[in-house]
Structure 1
Amino acid sequence: MAQDREPGLARLLRAVSTVRVPDAVRAAFEAEPGEPAPGQLWRTRWDETVELVVLLAVSDENVLAAPILLDDRCADEDTIILPPAQNSLTTTIAMWAGLARQLPMCILDRQLGVADIGVADSGWIERLVEAGATRGRRAAGPLDPTNEVQARLTDALDYLASAVWAPSGSGELGRLLAEASLGPPRLIELLDVSPPTALALRRGQAAVTPDQAAKLALALRLPDRVILEANPAPSRRLVQRMSRPRRRAQVNRLAARRGVEERSAWLAATYSVNAMAARQTGTQEPAWDERIDQYFQVTLES
Structure 2
Amino acid sequence: MRAVPISLDASAADDSAAILSPESSDLACSLVVWLDDATSLPLRVLDRYLGSLTVDAGELDAAERGQPVLTHADERAVQRARLQDILDVFVAARWAPEGAGNLKELLGAADVKELAQALQEPPRTVIALRRGRASLSPEQAERLAPVIHLPVETLLAANPSLPEDLVADLDHPAYRAKVVALAERRNVDETEAWLTAGFAVAAVAHRQTEGEKPAWTDRLDRYFALVLDEP
TM superposition score normalised by structure 1: 0.70
Q: Is 1:242 matched with 2:200?
A: no
> Please, which of 130, 134, 152 is the counterpart of residue 82 of structure 2?
152
Please give the secondary structure, in 2, of the residue aligned with 1:271: helix
Q: How do 1:33-48 residues align onto structure 2 when only pairs under 5 Å count?
A: none
> Please, which of 113, 126, 151 is the counterpart of residue 198 of structure 1?
126
| Separation in 1, partners of 2:25, 2:54 | 6
Please state how far the C-alpha of 1:278 moved relative to its aligned partner.
1.6
Larger proportion of strand: 1
Identify the residue that residue 220 of structure 1 maps to in structure 2.
148
8 Å Cα contact 1:106-1:245 kept in structure 2: yes
Please give the secondary structure, in 2, of the residue aligned with 1:95: strand
Report Cα offsets for 1:162-206 as digits up to 9, x if no partner. 212112111111221112x222x3333332323432322243322
Identify the residue that residue 26 of structure 1 maps to in structure 2.
none
Tell which deviates more after alignment, 74-83 or 142-151.
Answer: 142-151
Please give the secondary structure, in 2, of the residue aligned with 1:114: coil
In structure 2, relative to structure 1, the CA distance for the partners of 1:301 and 1:89 (3 Å cut) is farther
Identify the residue that residue 68 of structure 1 maps to in structure 2.
6
Runs (5+) with no aligned partner, structure 2: none
Aligned residues with identical type, % of pairs: 40
| Separation in 1, partners of 2:7, 2:141 | 45
Q: How do 1:87-236 residues align onto structure 2 when only pairs under 5 Å count?
A: 87-118=25-56, 124=57, 126-130=58-62, 133-179=63-109, 181-183=110-112, 185-236=113-164
8 Å Cα contact 2:18-2:35 kept in structure 1: yes
| Separation in 1, partners of 2:53, 2:219 | 34
Please give the secondary structure, in 1, of the residue aligned with 2:2: strand
Kindly provide the amino acid, as one letter, of the partner of residue 78 in structure 1. Answer: S
| Separation in 2, partners of 1:243, 1:256 | 18
8 Å Cα contact 1:201-1:207 kept in structure 2: yes
Larger proportion of helix: 2
Runs (5+) with no aligned partner, structure 1: 1-62, 119-123
Q: State how many pairs are aligned.
A: 230
Tell which deviates more after alignment, 153-162 or 136-145.
Answer: 136-145
Kindly provide the amino acid, as one letter, of the partner of residue 228 in structure 1. Answer: L
| Separation in 2, partners of 1:206, 1:283 | 17
In structure 2, relative to structure 1, the CA distance for the partners of 1:172 and 1:253 (3 Å cut) is same
8 Å Cα contact 1:102-1:161 kept in structure 2: yes
8 Å Cα contact 1:109-1:249 kept in structure 2: no
Report Cα offsets for 1:20-47 as digits up to 9, x if no partner. xxxxxxxxxxxxxxxxxxxxxxxxxxxx
Instruction: State the superposition RMSD in angstroms.
Output: 2.1
| Separation in 1, partners of 2:101, 2:15 | 50
In structure 2, relative to structure 1, the CA distance for the partners of 1:284 and 1:219 (3 Å cut) is farther
